[in-house]
């Protein structure tokens, strides 16, 4: 599976911190290379593992870590409300990497699709149809290009706790073509166009849209230089703590501050 470089901000104060982080990532299958900078407070990992697994390894040392950037052309998508998670897309020479963690789903498979419109003014009902610029029938990620939508990403499978971690490499998807569109997780599994009803060739009989949001441009490697949040003056670490501890009933669970 293709690897990509992922950048984390890590709260390190001395060489012992560097050594502890390096040890936590050593001999981990799926990690090709680790570059740690005490001066910048960053850890860059070349890996084919989901970013959340790398983050857990680093935080197992007692050091806080925040995802800052993803190698290659990239974009990000965040869920809100009862279903929470982050999915990132990174363009590589061998395809588009789709790396995500989602919580709050019912156990089992759920369809994952990119839809044509970045309009959530009426929630998931205004995102349009699957992204399908070639006007082809619905299929699965392993179908021929003439037998699938560009936005057909197949299924993700939640465990008994409702969490799913996944890392997909799709040969048809291009990051520049999906920024500003929307990503949707559905209630039912996608039959990948193999069902016997007319809906199978439209949406894979994947049912109700459970969660949706607009795909936006996010930071690549070394592009996110934020240390202080311009919204309220909180440090990166204060903001991270608050995003974990303060849960609200609003449409999102934490504030996102953007930098240019």
Does the pLDDT of residue 253 top 70, yes or no? no
CATH number at residue 66: 3.30.70.100
More confident residue, 49 or 249: 49
DSSP string, 124-193: ETTS-SB--TT-PPP--TTS-GGGS-TTEEEEEEE-TTS-EEEEEEESS--HHHHTTSEEEEESS---TT
Question: Any residues with CB less than 8 A from the CB of 50 and at least 6 apart, and which?
Answer: 99, 100, 101, 165, 166, 167
Q: For residues 171 and 232, state if they share a domain.
A: no
Give the pLDDT of residue 79.
54
Measured CA to CA, the distance from residue 63 to residue 14 in angstroms comes to: 12
Q: For residues 66 and 97, state if they share a domain.
A: no
Does some domain include residue 42?
A: yes
Q: For residues 83 and 206, state if they share a domain.
A: yes
Residue ranges making up the domain that contains 30: 4-71+221-245
Does some domain include residue 47?
A: yes
Q: For residues 130 and 231, state if they share a domain.
A: no
More confident residue, 234 or 84: 84
Does some domain include residue 252?
A: no
CA dihedral 164, 154, 89, 43 (to 10 degrees): 40
Q: Of the candidates 10, 6, 33, 5, which has an alpha carbon nearest to the alpha carbon of residue 21?
A: 10
Sheet holding 216-217, edge to edge: 164-170, 95-103, 84-92, 73-78, 216-217
Q: For residues 40 and 106, state if they share a domain.
A: no
Pull the structure tokens for residue 6: 């992922």
Q: What is the pLDDT of residues 123-149, one digit of tens each?
A: 888 999 999 999 999 999 999 999 999
Confidence of residue 260 (pLDDT cuts 50, 70, 90): very low
**Which helix (H) or strand (E) covers residue 76, if one does?**
strand 73-78
Q: For residues 212 and 83, state if they share a domain.
A: yes
CB-CB neighbours of 148 under 10 Å: 24
Confidence of residue 229 (pLDDT cuts 50, 70, 90): low
DSSP 200: H
Q: For residues 100 and 208, state if they share a domain.
A: yes
Confidence of residue 220 (pLDDT cuts 50, 70, 90): low
Count of domains in the chain? 2
CATH number at residue 114: 2.60.40.200
Q: Where on the phi/psi map is residue 30: left (φ > 0), alpha (ψ -120 to 50), or beta?
A: left
Q: For residues 60 and 165, state if they share a domain.
A: no
More confident residue, 233 or 99: 99
Q: Of the candidates 260, 246, 243, which has an alpha carbon nearest to the alpha carbon of residue 78?
A: 243
Q: Are 130 and 114 in contact (CB under 8 A)?
A: yes
C-alpha dist (Å) from residue 94 to 1, 11, 74: 10, 33, 14
Q: For residues 82 and 66, state if they share a domain.
A: no
Question: Any residues with CB less than 8 A from the CB of 224 and at least 6 apart, and which?
Answer: 7, 68, 69, 259
Confidence of residue 259 (pLDDT cuts 50, 70, 90): very low
Find the mean pLDDT for residues 95-101.
Answer: 90
Q: For residues 160 and 199, state if they share a domain.
A: yes
Q: Is 96 helix (H, G, I), strand (E, B) or coil?
A: strand
Q: For residues 15 and 86, state if they share a domain.
A: no
Tell how far CA 79 is from the center of its chain. 10
Confidence of residue 254 (pLDDT cuts 50, 70, 90): very low
């Amino acid at each position: 599976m293709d690897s990509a470089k992922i950048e984390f901000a890590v709260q390190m104060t001395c060489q012992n911190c560097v050594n502890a982080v390096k040890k936590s990532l050593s001999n981990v299958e799926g990690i090709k290379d680790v570059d740690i900078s005490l001066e910048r407070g960053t850890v860059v990992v070349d890996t084919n593992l989901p970013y959340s697994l790398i983050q857990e390894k680093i935080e197992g040392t007692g050091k806080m870590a925040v995802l800052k950037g993803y190698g290659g052309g990239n974009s990000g998508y965040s869920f809100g409300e009862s279903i929470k998670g982050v999915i990132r897309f990174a363009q590589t020479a061998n395809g588009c990497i789709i790396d995500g963690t989602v919580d709050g789903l019912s156990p089992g498979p759920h369809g994952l699709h990119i839809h044509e419109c970045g309009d959530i003014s009426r929630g998931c009902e205004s995102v349009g149809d699957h992204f399908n610029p070639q006007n082809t029938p619905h299929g699965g990620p392993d179908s021929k290009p003439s037998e699938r939508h560009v936005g057909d990403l197949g299924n993700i499978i939640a465990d008994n706790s409702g969490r799913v971690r996944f890392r997909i490499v799709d040969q048809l998807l291009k990051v520049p073509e999906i920024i500003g569109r929307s990503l949707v997780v559905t209630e039912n599994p996608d039959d990948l166009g193999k069902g016997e009803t007319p809906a199978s060739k439209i949406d894979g009989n994947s049912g109700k849209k459970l969660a949706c949001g607009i795909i936006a441009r996010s930071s690549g490697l070394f592009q996110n230089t934020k240390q202080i949040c311009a919204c309220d003056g909180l440090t990166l670490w204060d903001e991270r703590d608050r995003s974990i501890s303060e849960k609200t009933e609003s449409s999102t669970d934490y504030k996102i501050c953007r930098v240019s």
